[in-house]
């Protein structure tokens, strides 16, 4: 006994069981939220099982009555059997309908919760995951977790109750029959202990290769224009076959493992079934039991063996749920975004009437994990009503600087802050993001209408406000010519519009946000020089946008800027004049 206890403790301490324990503990936080639904499931499940057992016992008395020609209670017994059968059907129907509603509710709530946690995760930490992998975890793994939360525990308790009830009835009539029916129990338990680790590994591999498949598809469709333009359809077709082969290899290996396991357990089940059947025939032949009891034994012994197998069969689903929980945990337990000085930020927002804010980056340094320093002792200042340009070759850290301003990245040294007109200052983080409008590089238009895209940042904006923002971004001239104007449909990634048009729509969206600071990251690269200048003038004339910071390769707008910084080899140098030709020479 001491040796057995030591074996169990060693197993629990091993990594595999420690992981499963931690994942099950994480699952419990959701399980306890829905305890009322779980109790409801358990009640209906046990009631259904009880009716089934009662029906089997009633069948015994029916057969005994018929074979013994004692028909006085025959009508009552038949009525009872039919009533219980119909009762079981009604319970299952009601359970099926209500369970579908509850299951959808739980799935949606858990998915929304996980989605919110993923979106609030530190940006740099999250970047290690492919978006397709995140989709796989958010959909496939969350669905498995949701099903286990609302279904696994009730099913376990219901089947355990059914198993114990069946065992009690058989023990009441014939204890030897109960022992024979349970012959498969020790074999099944030994097999389960041996196979848990392999099941776990297969589950992990299957889920990972599924994520890889989704990641491949998501990335292919996202870059379909590039694939077509470079004539890479055939190349990506071959890559798909390689991904499919890896998936098929793991799936077939798991299938072979499942077949071998199922075959062995089926053989054990057949041996137990024939053993119990033989014992029942012997007892009937010796006159120890009636025909009704024999029928009851046949029903319950097979039910007992299958009930125990069903309990053991829940192990793979439990492992699958735990594995999915682990995959979700690895994402949602990443560091959260920092919300520095949130109370000060709230005060700045409440106190400032016009929200004229300055941006100050003082002696900051930054490097990505495992990489060399990108910014070294850099300082940048942008005051209200200023246009500040940051220039320099690609790869010098301009976009990284924008990410620091938006609180997506935190400097490893130095101070990054916003300052209001009263001198109140707050560190840049996710809490200060409310004060920024942003136009990133590339096409950032979403599917929907033009109005939908603009109202993302201000849902309450009326049509006139949308038009004013479009005019400020020099976009209304082409929007008004569209058949449905601002309600014209836009395809994914701005399909149907040129790069210049998509850029101006994105700028209009940023303008409509009416934030005190606007960041333009190469956001006017697709515009001609005159349009670019007109857009900048429109930006500065609109609403509360009093501070504008832009990154650019072009020098045509530098004479409009109040301050120009050059980035080179991780350092930043300020030009104290507006001679863009001299700047061009120095680059």
> What is 353-586's CATH number, 3.40.50.970, 3.40.50.300, 3.30.750.210, 3.30.56.10?
3.40.50.300
For the cut 70, the answer to whether the pLDDT of residue 216 exceeds it is: yes
Fold matches, 23-332 and 353-586: no
pLDDT for 377 equals 86
For the cut 80, the answer to whether the pLDDT of residue 160 exceeds it is: no
Mean pLDDT of 2-18: 47
For the cut 80, the answer to whether the pLDDT of residue 468 exceeds it is: yes
Q: Is the pTM of this model over 0.75?
A: no
| 237 CA to centre of own chain | 28
Looking at the chain, the whole-number percentage of residues with pLDDT higher than 70 is 84
For the cut 80, the answer to whether the pLDDT of residue 403 exceeds it is: yes
Q: Which two tokens stand for residue 39?
A: 């109790």
pLDDT for 580 equals 46
- pLDDT band for position 317 (50/70/90)? confident
Mean pLDDT of the chain: 78
Q: Three-class SS of residue 79? A: helix
For the cut 50, the answer to whether the pLDDT of residue 11 exceeds it is: no
Mean pLDDT of 168-172: 77
pLDDT, tens only, 265-278 = 677 767 776 777 77
Mean pLDDT of 251-266: 78
pLDDT for 329 equals 84
Looking up tokens 């569209």 gives: 482
pLDDT for 579 equals 52
Mean pLDDT of 95-102: 75
User: How far apart are the C-alpha atoms of 333 and 431, rounded to whole Å?
Assistant: 20
- Which segment of 66-80, 227-241, 388-402 scores lowest on mean pLDDT? 66-80
How does DSSP classify residue 336?
A: B
pLDDT for 359 equals 92
185-to-194, 278, 295, 392 alpha-carbon distances in Å:
14, 19, 23, 73
For the cut 60, the answer to whether the pLDDT of residue 293 exceeds it is: yes
- pLDDT band for position 237 (50/70/90)? confident
Mean pLDDT of 246-267: 79
pLDDT, tens only, 488-533 = 888 777 777 888 888 888 889 988 888 889 888 877 666 777 777 7
- pLDDT band for position 417 (50/70/90)? very high
- What are the respective helix, strand and coil percentages of the chain, to the nearest 5? 65, 10, 20
Cβ atoms < 10 Å from Cβ of 20: 20
Q: Pairing relation of β-strands 375-382 and 357-366?
A: antiparallel
- pLDDT band for position 426 (50/70/90)? very high
The most confident of the ranges 49-58, 312-321, 396-405, 519-528 is: 396-405
Q: Pairing relation of β-strands 413-420 and 489-490?
A: unpaired
pLDDT for 464 equals 92
- For 564-582, letters b (16+ CB in 10 Å) and e give bbbbeebebeebeeeebee
User: How far apart are the C-alpha atoms of 310 and 160, rounded to whole Å?
Assistant: 9
- Beta carbons within 8 Å of 86's beta carbon, 6+ residues apart: none
Cβ atoms < 10 Å from Cβ of 320: 22
Q: What are the domain boundaries of the chain?
A: 23-332, 353-586
> What is 23-332's CATH number, 3.40.50.720, 3.40.50.1950, 3.40.190.10, 1.20.1560.10?
1.20.1560.10
pLDDT for 301 equals 67
pLDDT for 352 equals 63
353 vs 88, more confident? 88
- Which segment of 274-283, 432-441, 536-545, 577-586 scores lowest on mean pLDDT? 577-586
pLDDT for 360 equals 92
């Amino acid at each position: 006994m001491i040796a057995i206890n030591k074996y169990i403790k060693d197993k629990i301490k091993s990594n595999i069981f420690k992981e499963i324990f931690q994942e099950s503990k994480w699952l419990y936080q959701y399980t306890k939220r829905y305890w009322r639904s779980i109790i409801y499931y358990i009640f209906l499940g046990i009631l259904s099982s009880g009716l089934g057992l009662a029906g089997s016992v009633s069948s015994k008395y029916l057969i005994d009555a018929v074979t013994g020609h004692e028909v006085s209670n025959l009508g009552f017994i038949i009525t009872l059997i039919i009533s219980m059968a119909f009762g079981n059907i009604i319970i299952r129907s009601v359970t099926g309908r209500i369970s579908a509603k509850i299951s959808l509710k739980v799935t949606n709530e858990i998915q929304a919760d996980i989605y919110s946690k993923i979106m609030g995760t530190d940006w740099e930490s999250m970047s290690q995951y492919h978006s397709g992998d995140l989709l796989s975890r958010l959909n496939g793994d969350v669905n498995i977790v949701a099903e286990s939360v609302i279904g696994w525990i009730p099913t376990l308790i219901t089947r355990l109750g059914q198993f114990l009830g069946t065992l009690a009835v058989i023990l009441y009539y014939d204890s030897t029959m109960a022992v024979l029916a349970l012959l498969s129990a020790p074999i099944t338990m030994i097999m389960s202990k041996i196979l848990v680790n392999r099941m776990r590994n297969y589950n992990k591999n299957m889920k990972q290769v599924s994520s890889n498949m989704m990641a491949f598809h998501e990335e292919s469709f996202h870059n379909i224009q590039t694939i077509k333009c470079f004539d890479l359809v055939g190349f990506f077709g071959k890559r798909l076959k390689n991904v499919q082969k890896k998936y098929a290899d793991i799936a077939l290996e798991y299938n072979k493992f499942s077949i071998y396991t199922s075959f062995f357990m089926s053989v054990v089940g057949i041996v137990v079934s024939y053993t119990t059947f033989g014992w029942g025939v012997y007892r009937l032949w010796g006159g120890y039991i009636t025909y009704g009891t024999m029928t009851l034994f046949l029903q319950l012994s097979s039910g007992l063996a299958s009930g125990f197998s069903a309990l053991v069969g829940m192990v793979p689903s439990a492992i699958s749920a735990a594995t999915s929980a682990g995959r979700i945990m690895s994402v949602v337990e990443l560091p959260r975004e920092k919300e520095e000085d949130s109370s000060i930020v709230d005060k700045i927002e409440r106190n400032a009437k016009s929200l004229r804010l300055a941006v100050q980056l003082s002696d900051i340094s930054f490097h990505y994990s495992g990489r060399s320093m990108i910014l070294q002792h850099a300082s940048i200042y942008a005051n209200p009503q200023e246009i500040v340009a940051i220039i320099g070759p690609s790869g010098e850290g301009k976009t990284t600087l924008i990410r620091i301003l938006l609180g997506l990245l935190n400097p490893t040294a130095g101070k990054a802050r916003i300052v209001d007109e009263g001198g109140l200052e707050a560190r840049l983080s996710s809490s200060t993001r409310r004060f920024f409008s942003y136009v990133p590089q590339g096409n950032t238009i979403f599917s929907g209408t033009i109005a939908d895209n603009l109202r993302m940042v201000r849902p309450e904006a009326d049509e006139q406000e949308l038009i004013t923002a479009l005019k400020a971004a020099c976009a209304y001239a082409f929007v008004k010519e569209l058949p449905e104007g601002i309600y014209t449909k836009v395809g994914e990634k701005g399909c149907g519009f040129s790069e210049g048009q998509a850029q101006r729509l994105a700028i209009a969206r940023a303008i409509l946000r009416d934030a005190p600071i606007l960041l333009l990251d190469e956001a006017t690269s697709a515009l001609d020089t005159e349009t670019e200048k007109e857009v900048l003038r429109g930006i500065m004339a609109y609403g509360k946008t009093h501070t504008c910071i832009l990154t650019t390769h072009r020098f045509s707008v530098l004479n409009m800027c109040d301050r120009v910084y050059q980035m080179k080899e991780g350092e930043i140098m300020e030009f104290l004049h507006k001679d863009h030709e001299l700047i061009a020479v120095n680059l």
